[in-house]
């Protein structure tokens, strides 16, 4: 048995990682800025502050930890916390882990990071990986694409819109690829890397690759939607996503996410290590998918969506 710290252990991927660790008898500490978030583990996980702007507090939070599993990152700039700051905060976290005597760090990155990328998301992810390699503890790096599971933000958002709108805009020609992975598979791979001692980087992707148009199509067919799929210029698709996001009090799609998707950065060039097929998962979960909106912004920040406007726009 070992003592693990998991950033965001009550969140989506962190919750699945922490649950597996508890099931096998390990001790888990949750590093979080949301200590009041509902505890899915009935008090079996302790909480310490994820004080990313205060290294001494981070060192104290990591005291006695054998392995750190890090899922921290930001999708987009919100309240001044953008990708550059996320990189610097990740450096502080890794330095604190080294100072606290943490033996190993398992880190969740992204597929196809690139230090020369024009996209700060992918460039920042590469900079975080470099900071981890220089930090001192041994490390394992996971590079996932898009997650699905019991809190599937992207598939659920697509299904939510398909259930309510007569037309769904496909940015561009929709022929660019997407290779989703089940959160359970990601958690298994994270623990596998956490248990190793050598430095290793692996892609974490599922066995199915779709074009984006086919990805939307299989979701539409599974939930019984009759929405038409309309090829839409990227700027218009972004503008529509922005309008819908404001109505829902959320961020549906960012320019960087669209650029990365259309540049085929959500497909791996390595053999798939995930075993769960998205199509099979979809067949089992289509009934609830998209019935309600899953707000990622609302999960991390206190937001109050303009509900009346959202209902008028989306017919709910």
pLDDT digits (tens, 9 = 90+) for 1-45: 899 999 999 999 999 999 999 999 999 999 998 888 899 999 999
- Please tell me the predicted confidence (pLDDT) of residue 174: 98
Cβ contacts of 13 within 8 Å, gap of 6 or more: 71, 108, 147, 183, 186, 187, 190
- Please tell me the predicted confidence (pLDDT) of residue 310: 36
The residue ranges of every structural domain in the chain are: 3-144, 153-177+208-269+276-314
- Please tell me the predicted confidence (pLDDT) of residue 298: 58
- Please tell me the predicted confidence (pLDDT) of residue 36: 85
Q: List the structure tokens of 294.
A: 């899953």
User: Is the entire prediction scored with pTM above 0.75?
Assistant: yes
Low-confidence ranges of the chain (pLDDT < 70): 78-79, 297-316
Alpha-carbon distances of 211 from 131, 169, 179, 293, rounded to whole Å: 33, 15, 9, 24
Phi, psi dihedrals of residue 139, rounded to the nearest 5°: -145, 155
CB 265 within 8 A of CB 121: no
- Please tell me the predicted confidence (pLDDT) of residue 302: 43
Q: Does domain 3-144 have CATH number 3.30.70.360?
A: no
CB 37 within 8 A of CB 174: no
Burial of 315 (0-12, 13-18, 19+ CB in 10 A): exposed
């Amino acid at each position: 048995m070992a003592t693990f710290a998991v950033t965001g252990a009550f969140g989506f991927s962190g919750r699945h990682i922490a649950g597996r660790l508890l099931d096998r008898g390990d001790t888990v500490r949750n590093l979080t800025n949301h200590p009041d978030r509902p505890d899915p583990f009935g008090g079996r996980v302790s909480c310490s502050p994820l004080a990313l702007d205060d290294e001494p507090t981070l060192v104290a939070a990591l005291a006695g930890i054998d392995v750190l599993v890090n899922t921290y990152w930001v999708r987009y700039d919100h309240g001044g916390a953008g990708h550059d700051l996320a990189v610097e905060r990740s450096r502080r976290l890794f330095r604190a882990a080294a100072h606290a005597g943490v033996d190993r760090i398992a880190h969740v990155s992204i597929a196809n990071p690139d230090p020369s990328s024009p996209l700060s998301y992918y460039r920042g992810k590469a900079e975080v990986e470099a900071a981890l390699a220089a930090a001192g503890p041994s490390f394992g790096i996971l590079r996932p694409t898009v997650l699905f599971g019991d809190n599937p933000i992207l598939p659920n958002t697509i299904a939510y819109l398909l259930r309510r709108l007569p037309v769904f805009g496909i940015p561009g020609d929709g022929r660019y690829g997407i290779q989703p992975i089940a959160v359970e598979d990601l958690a298994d791979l994270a623990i596998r890397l956490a248990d190793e001692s050598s430095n290793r980087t692996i892609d974490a992707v599922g066995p199915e690759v779709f074009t984006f148009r086919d990805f939307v199509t299989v979701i539409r067919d599974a939930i019984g939607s009759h929405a038409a799929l309309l090829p839409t210029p990227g700027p218009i698709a972004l503008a529509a996503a922005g309008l819908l996001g404001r109505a829902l009090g959320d961020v549906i799609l960012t320019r960087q996410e669209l650029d990365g998707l259309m540049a085929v950065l959500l497909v791996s060039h390595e053999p798939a290590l995930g075993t769960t097929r998205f199509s099979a998962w979809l067949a089992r979960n289509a009934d609830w998918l998209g019935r309600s909106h899953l707000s990622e912004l609302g999960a991390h920040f206190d937001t109050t969506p303009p509900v009346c406007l959202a209902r008028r726009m989306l017919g709910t």
